[in-house]
Amino acid sequence: METLIDLRLLISTGMEVDLPLKIILSGQETLTVQLKRASLADLVNRINVRFHIKSLTREQTIAYIDHRLKCAGATDRLMTSDAKALIHDYAGGVPRSINNIATACLIHAASQNIAAINEPIVNDTMAEFKLP
């Protein structure tokens, strides 16, 4: 909260001096809650563009995992479609959670010398790493 108040003061001061200052404010859902406070009304009034990333659908999650695997040099056969769908279910379509779970699955599979990740591996990983 202190940082947001400082940012509000910085922006207010910058407006008086005509500083060419552009700020990108990015955060999670809790940021939206914080910005609803009356003490930050000046800051909120100066936000020009707002964008909220929604949770991915199951199909988007599978495509996202495939893309990330491809960028890393792996094939989509490293993970079964059912495993990717289960990761979506555990993550609720939230990209950060998808990344965390998929990474944990890769670490778990590598530690067990497993070549392909399937549903039981995802479930074992969730239990072993105590992921939500």
Domains and CATH numbers, the chain: 2-45 (no CATH), 58-128 (1.10.8)
DSSP 12: H
* Tokens at 107, concatenated: 């670490």
The pLDDT of residue 25 is: 83
Average pLDDT over all residues of the chain: 88
Summarize pLDDT for 41-97 with one digit per residue, the tens: 888 887 888 888 889 999 999 999 999 999 999 987 899 999 999 999 999 999 999
* Distance from C-alpha of 10 to C-alpha of 8, rounded to nearest angstrom: 5
pLDDT on residue 3: 82
Specify the DSSP element, H or E, that contains 87.
helix 81-91
Predicted TM-score (pTM) of this structure:
0.73
Instruction: Give the integer Cα–Cα distance in Å for 7 and 123.
Output: 43
As a whole number of Å, the CA-based R_g of the chain is 21
> What is the tens place of the pLDDT at every residue in 5-48?
887 777 766 555 566 667 788 888 888 888 888 888 888 887 88
Q: Name the strand (E) or helix (H) holding 24.
A: none
Extract the tokens encoding 19. Answer: 């500083």
